[in-house]
Chains A and B, each alone.
Chain A
Amino acid sequence: MLKNLDKEEYFYGHKGCGGCGGSLAVRLALKVLGKNTFVVVPAGCMSAVGFLYPQLSFGVNALISPFASTGAMLSGIRAAANALDIKDCNVVGFAGDGGTADIGLQALSGAIDRGDRIIYICYDNEAYMNTGVQQSGLTPYGARTTTTPPGDYIHGSKNNKKDMFDIVAAHNIKYAATASIGNIPDYIRKVEKAKNIKGTSYIHVAAPCPTGWGIDSSETVSIAKEAIHCGLWYLAEYEDGVYKLNHEVREYASIEGYLKKQSRFKHLTDEDIEIIQKQRDRKINLIKRKVKNYEKILENQ
């Protein structure tokens, strides 16, 4: 287990918004992975704020891939590293929720299927923030975005937020985890674990966006913590076919408290909140069942 974080900054001098959760996730992961790292960033927030010539913000090798190509470029880099016999290196991608769950899903699926030794980190801020807060496949139910304006007719996002953790696990991936910048020690441990996995690993890190969520820039980490406390986000791992929940929440905090702190949810009715609560209960039950099932399977082995 990592004791001290690298003092070196590998993502520095970018133009990210104050309190940007995504850039914190990138910065911390690179401190774990270190200088022998190749980074792929598709179109999205991180490439927009960190890659404007001549102000280039990565202290390690990095490139922007086409929007849909994160998984494919990661694989290409790993194949070249293998061909050149460069063993001691990490190949990591940082893609947003849209770049992962929507346009980049196919290439990600291909990469996991190949089992290439790459790390794919999805920083999930729950909408296309870079282009001005449009709905993505990971926008939660009810959220206001610029393409789901809340009114009598549209009433915010009708999506149910694809379960990327499960989608990825269904590939029989070597290692997958959910994480949050609301629990940095847990996130760092997972990045470190992924670093040593001899195969594909995927980390889905919840990374709030003050601009898109309508919170103060000082609240990024605290709102991420609250998402965990109210059960709308959980910290889990999947490794070699086994699901694990990293924390047991005995009593969930109020969902309403979490939602009403963000202007993107200001318009929600009691009915909406009930729907979201049901979604939460269903999701939590599902992951608990999975954990239990695998525990049983393991006991019987």
Chain B
Amino acid sequence: MNNRVFVSGDEAIALGVKLAKPKVIAAYPITPQTIVVERLAEMVEKRELEAEYMYVESEHSALAAVMGASVLGVRTFTATSSQGLLYMAEVLHYASGGRVPLVMMNANRSVALPWSIFGDQRDSLSLLDSGWIQAYVEDAQETLDMVIQAYALAENKNVLTPVMVNLDGFVLTHTYEAIDIPTEEQVEKFLPEFKLEGKMDINAPKNLFFSSSPSDNIRFKLQQHQAMEDSRAIIKELDRQYEEITGRGYGGLATGYRTEDAESIIITLGSITGLVKDVVDALRSQGKRVGVVKIRFMRPFPEEELVELCKNADKIGVLEKDISFGYHGTVYTNVADALKAEGKKLINYIAGLGGQNISADDICNIFSQLQSIDTGVNVPTLNFVGVKG
């Protein structure tokens, strides 16, 4: 029997983590992640979750602490956001290079300066090269399902790569939705017990996280890259298994909505997808051939999926809450590389920085602008949406 509850995105994370039964949790509070760690602390207090809850003095220590716990073969959890994620940056590379199968939630939030507690995706996208699998979710239901799948993915012996589950600050973390919670039995069936090969063991001591010579270093980095490549098929397979057990599947690294005959497509990341779908429905009812492609994983990047989903469209807009100053948005740069041989018109829309609202009108305007390319209008490659004054 599925259990339906009305919860925020942060609470959905906590409920998903509870079902995964980590034994060590360490986290440092930062808005808008705090509700996650508060709920988990309450669960530990009520003994609904049998875990060691560690108070740590910084995000840097939070990630280091769960690394130390994980290499003894213990499932862990941590969560952060924005400045906290950046403060962890060194340890992010450390964890992925050490092949430590951690799961972390990141509440996507703008990065200072100027200070802003509101959402955009510049925090996690600036750490795209840290060797973590990066997942982005659309709503509270996908949040809960993703965090459970994240453990199965990170701990898969062919992956052994940490996973960051990203959800938009406030828009997702603090918005309440009705979601279905899988049963403990369903999760137990899907998520095997954590068994780490090569863990630290008193009877078989290990020396971990060592230095290496240049010739060994590149071999280790190739292995790390290969694991990320291999995770593509595993992401799809885990999603299929999860759907078989719970009835909910999401379709792998990227998914399309009304893309089959679309001439213009907007590519999205995260919670804005829902609104773009609504606009697509409205424009479709006016006979416009438009669609949306949602990127679910930025690493590994869904190159083949994008080529397939966009194959019938010749105008692609990439809408993202990020800018890599001096070039384009990071999502755009990745999409442009994936579609470089496809001969499409690619336009980058930077929106929602520092929590600025992205309206249905903004999205309508993007579709109109994309369609205007056919009438000979020269649309610039890079556009900031909603800049006033």
Per the bound structure, the CA–CA distance linking A47 and B212 in Å amounts to: 12
CB-CB under 8 A from B200, the residues of chain A are: 38, 61, 63, 77
Whether A110 contacts B56 in the complex (CB less than 8 A), given A79-B69, A80-B72, A83-B51, comes out as yes
State which residues 42-66 of A face B: CB under 8 Å: 47-48, 51-54, 56-66
Chain A residues contacting B74 (CB-CB under 8 Å) are 79-80, 83-84
CB distance from A268 to the nearest CB of B (A): 37
Q: Which of B54, B60, B212 lies at the interface centre, i.e. has the most chain A CB atoms within 10 A of its CB?
A: B54
Question: Which B206-228 residues have C-beta < 8 A from chain A?
Answer: 206-213, 216
Interface check B358, CB cutoff 8 A? no
| Among candidates B73, B90, B205, B209, residue contacting A60 with C-beta atoms closer than 8 Å | B205
A58 adjacent to B68 (CB under 8 Å): no
- How near does chain A come to B80, taking the closest CB pair, in angstroms? 14
Once the chains are docked, how many angstroms separate the CA of A38 from the CA of B206?
Answer: 9
Contact A107 B72 (CB under 8 A): no
Q: B323 at interface (Cβ–Cβ under 8 A)? A: no
B64 and A107 contacting across the interface, CB-CB below 8 Å: yes
Dominant secondary structure at the B interface:
mixed
For residue A134, CB closer than 8 A to chain B, the reply is no
CA gap between A113 and B56 in the complex, in Å: 9
Which of A67-75, A159-167, A222-230 lies on the face that meets chain B? A67-75
Cross-chain contact A76 with B207 (CB below 8 angstroms): no
Question: Are A71 and B23 in touch, CB under 8 angstroms?
Answer: no
Q: Can you list the 9 inter-chain pairs with the closest CB atoms, starting with the nearest?
A: A76-B68, A110-B57, A72-B61, A69-B64, A76-B65, A56-B207, A80-B69, A73-B68, A83-B23
Are A77 and B72 closer than 8 Å at their CB atoms?
yes
**Among B56, B62, B66, residue most surrounded by chain A Cβ atoms (within 10 Å):** B56
Contact of B113 with A by CB under 8 A: no
Which residues on A sit within 8 Å (CB–CB) of B51? 83
Known A38-B200, A56-B210: A106·B58 in contact at CB below 8 Å: yes
Within 8 A of A (CB), among B16-72: 23-24, 26, 51-52, 54-58, 60-62, 64-72
Instruction: Give the tally of cross-chain contacts (CB within 8 A).
Output: 148
Query: Cβ of A114 < 8 Å from any Cβ of B?
Result: yes
Does any Cβ of B come within 8 Å of A82's Cβ? Answer: yes
Is there an interface contact between A48 and B72, defined as CB atoms closer than 8 Å?
no
Chain B interfacial positions (CB closer than 8 Å to A): 23-24, 26, 51-52, 54-58, 60-62, 64-74, 76, 90-91, 94, 200-202, 205-213, 216
0/1 per residue, A78-112, Cβ < 8 Å to B? 01111110100100000000000000001101100
Show 11 residue pairs from A and B whose CB-CB distance is below 8 angstroms, ordered by the A residue: A53-B216, A57-B207, A63-B68, A63-B71, A66-B60, A66-B90, A72-B56, A76-B54, A80-B52, A110-B55, A114-B54
- 8 additional contacts, CB 8 Å, given A59-B205, A75-B68, A84-B23? A40-B68, A52-B212, A61-B200, A63-B68, A68-B60, A72-B56, A89-B202, A106-B58
With contact pairs A52-B211, A83-B23 given, residues A65 and B68 touching in the complex (Cβ less than 8 Å): yes
Check if A263 is an interface residue, CB within 8 A of chain B: no
Let me know if A189 is at the binding interface, CB within 8 A. no
**A36 beta carbon closer than 8 Å to chain B:** yes
Q: Is the CB of A63 within 8 A of B211?
A: no
Contact between B209 and A76, CB atoms less than 8 A apart: no
Closest CB-CB distance, B28 to chain A, in whole Å? 10
Chain A residues contacting B62 (CB-CB under 8 Å) are: 72
Judging by beta carbons under 8 Å apart, are A65 and B209 in contact?
Answer: yes
B94 surroundings in chain A (CB, below 8 A):
66
List of B residues within 8 angstroms of A72 by Cβ: 26, 56, 60-62, 64-65, 68
User: Does A35 interact with chain B (Cβ within 8 Å)?
Assistant: yes
**B61 lies within 8 A of A63 (CB):** no
Known: A68-B60, A75-B54, A110-B58. A80 touches B205 (CB 8 A): no
List of A residues within 8 angstroms of B207 by Cβ: 51, 56-58, 61-63
Q: B210, A51: Cβ atoms under 8 Å?
A: yes
Given contacts A73-B64, A76-B65, A80-B24, contact A109 B209 (CB under 8 A): no
Question: In the bound complex, how far is the Cα of B209 from the Cα of A59, in angstroms?
Answer: 15
Contact indicator B61/A84 (Cβ below 8 Å): no
Interface centre among A40, A62, A63, A81 (most CB of B within 10 A): A63
The reply to whether A113 and B211 contact each other, CB–CB distance below 8 Å, is: no
With both beta carbons as reference points, the residue of chain A lying nearest to B207 in the complex is identified as A56
Which A residues touch B56, using CB under 8 A? 72, 75, 110
CA of A223 to CA of B65, assembled, Å: 37
Contact B58 A63 (CB under 8 A): no
Chain A residue with Cβ nearest B75: A83
Min Cβ gap A179→B in Å is 25
A51 to B210, CA, bound (A): 5
Residues of A within 8 A of B73 (CB): 80, 84
